[in-house]
Amino acid sequence: MERALLQARELIDSTMSLHRDRPARDALVIRADDAEAGATVARLLGRARHSISASLPGDGEQSQTVFAALTGRRPEPTGRTAGPLAAVSSRGADRVVVQASRRARTPEAGGVVVRLLCTPRALSAGVPSAAALRAARCEIRVVDSELREALIVDGRVALIQSGPEHSDSAAIIKDTASVRALDLLFAGSWANARPLAEHLRLSERLLRTPSAQRVLERLREGHTDDVAARELQVSLRTYRRYVAAVMKELGVSSRFQAGVRAVELGLLPRRGTVAGAGLSGVGRA
């Protein structure tokens, strides 16, 4: 599987380079700030007949545009969309989600299967908000690793951010092998992600406990139990009991893992880049 993922990344990076090097009249590239960006996303989603897979880091205009169009899409037999969608604010995206959830079809009723993969950073930033995500009628999971913005429709066409050096643009990929590779990468990230409800329960339990937050900060700093207990003004035995409870909640076996996990979940601010897997490697040529 690891070898297949590496080969998939190489294939996609190669395809992305080809797209960037094509003449302007042939290039399938859109800019994030382009007025047509929302309309392009809406057209791709409107043509979906079987499945839509999207990964959203949640910290850019493209993520907001894709999320608004994804959760606000109105499936119609003719394949027409509700109209162009420009990049929207977080509040605007929330309104779209709530209104659209009342109209969306479910997979059991023959609708399009929609899978949305986002990061804890997206939830922490509130774009889209947790309430809006709960209201959306699609399967949502949260992944700890870094994500590259991507949208895959019916396993036939994909829209993906071009890369760090081209962060203001996204490429439309129709090459069958590349889209299949993206599907493989998405599936790998999806399998390692947690359902939204599970992520929110874990975050709420830890965030509403002041002692847990302070313990997590000490674990990340690498403080010894003696030093951390003195700083928190509790006994060594009490501090170790706190640590054991936090580690159990996070599902880790070491103090170091607890600190790293807390950053990945968005429970503590991120100080550096955490290497990811799956779609995290796409477009970083």
Do 61 and 120 share a domain, yes or no? Answer: yes
Measured CA to CA in angstroms, residue 56 lies from 19, 115, 150, 220 at distances of: 22, 11, 7, 26
Do 137 and 46 share a domain, yes or no? Answer: yes
pLDDT per residue of the chain (285 residues) written in tens, 0 to 9: 445 445 555 555 555 555 555 444 434 555 544 556 667 777 777 788 888 888 877 655 555 555 665 555 433 333 333 322 233 334 434 443 443 343 345 545 457 788 888 887 776 665 555 566 556 667 888 887 777 778 898 888 888 876 555 555 677 888 888 888 888 889 888 888 888 877 777 777 776 676 888 888 888 888 899 999 999 999 999 999 989 888 888 888 888 888 887 877 777 776 644 333 445 444 433
- Asked if residue 285 is part of any domain, the answer here is no
Do 160 and 215 share a domain, yes or no? Answer: no
- Asked if residue 203 is part of any domain, the answer here is no
Looking at the 3D structure of the chain, how many domains does it have?
2
Do 188 and 118 share a domain, yes or no? Answer: yes
Residue 170 has, within 13 A of its CA and on its CB side, a CA count of 25
Residue 246 belongs to domain spanning: 208-265
Final residue in a domain of this structure, among 192, 217, 242: 192
Residue appearing with tokens 């965030």: 207
Task: Rounding to the nearest 10 degrees, give the CA dihedral for residues 17, 20, 23, 24.
Answer: 170
State how far the Cα of 68 lies from the Cα of 127, in Å rounded to an integer: 10
